[in-house]
Amino acid sequence: MRRVAWLLLAVWITGCLWWCPACGGDEAGESDNTPDGPASCECRWAQLETGTSHGYLESVWGSSATDVFVVGLGGAILHYNGSGWTRMESGTDHDLYAVWGSSPTDVYAAGYPTPSGSGPILHYDGSAWSQVFGGDGTSHWYSFYGLWGTSAWDIFVVGEGSETRPSILHYDGSTWSPVDAGGTYSLVAIWGTSATDIFVAGSDAGKRPVILHYDGSNWSPMAGVEDAMARFYPAICDIWGSSPSDIYAAVYFQGLIHYDGQEWRQVDIDEYQPAAVWGSSGADVYLVGSTESMERGVLHYDGKSWRLMDLQGAGGGLYGMWGSGACDVFAVGAGIMRCAESS
């Protein structure tokens, strides 16, 4: 869903993973269609103090509001237990860009390669982190940017590989195996509703924007994505949905597109420039990014309109989001912010 390390990649990939300031303000865009889902609550953003040193933080995931994992540059992994943050020993200095888990004792993190090897996949078993993938035994390397799964034995990691290496790996509970997606892609984000309904986003070999859909048997490019992004540079950087017919894809520093189950269309968010998207329902969706004037901000959709939220003057970029519910959202980047229900 923006960082120094991504200057090593082409702009069409790095756009998803680099710097983004933000803001606070007023209304962005209106929608006549109110999606199903519980009404969102009013939460208030505040900067969290971790008490630990770290570089830019890239991704966040948790099993609950009292079990949150954050990963970032230099192999940083932070953990929140509901009362405080600790820095965990990751065993790597690779930059980490993705984190996801099936439970508090089954968490994965993945990231970018160093000159000496492939990007790693790390696993946390509830006690310690260990590396479970560091390459395929060849000189080819992988860069990993997205993680998602349906269970402990059905996990996907997406990214890019050197030459013709596959950009998707799948874990079946015992082995990480390459996935034939039917082409050469650079993929940065993944989300799904089930094992037979998965969406991954990025660019194809021609640097055109692409969103692939997996139906449980085959991967296929979705129609209309390039048309929906007609005025955007092809830099999809995040994807999230509330259902198979309510999916958002953030186009880094440019805009937002939406899938209604039939076609992809641009969403009117004025000049807001998103870097990541997450929600608790179709009527409670968040974007982190910046305004046209490059002020940091979070844009919120309540099912009717998009509005900029007040960040209480906190500074620094935000690059990733996750929440335990409508009234508890974490955003990470230069630091960590949390939106909790107003008392």
What does the pLDDT average to over 230-252?
90
Strand partners, 247: 241, 259
Closest of 244, 256, 175 to residue 215, by C-alpha:
244
For the CA atoms of 303, 305, 311, 317, what is the dihedral angle to 10 degrees?
90
Highest average pLDDT, of 111-125, 159-173, 177-191, comes from 177-191
**Long-range contacts (CB closer than 8 Å, 24 or more residues apart) made by 159-165:** 159/110, 159/119, 159/186, 159/187, 159/188, 160/13, 160/185, 160/186, 160/187, 160/202, 165/136, 165/140, 165/141
User: pLDDT for 183-220, tens place per residue?
Assistant: 889 999 999 999 999 999 999 888 889 999 999 999 99
Q: Quote the CA–CA distance of 193 and 215 in Å, as a whole number.
A: 11
Structure tokens at 206: 């021609």
CB 329 within 8 A of CB 341: no
Could you tell me which residues come within 8 angstroms of residue 211 by beta carbon, excluding any fewer than 6 positions away? 199, 200, 201, 221, 222, 225, 236, 239, 249, 264
Pairing type for strands 57-64 and 67-72 reads antiparallel
> 22-68 pLDDT, tens per residue?
333 344 554 444 455 455 577 889 999 999 888 899 999 999 999 99
Domains by residue range for the chain, with CATH: 4-341 (2.130.10.10)
Taking only the tens place, the pLDDT of each residue in 292-309 is 655 678 899 999 999 988
Average pLDDT, the chain: 84
Place of tokens 């046209």: 292
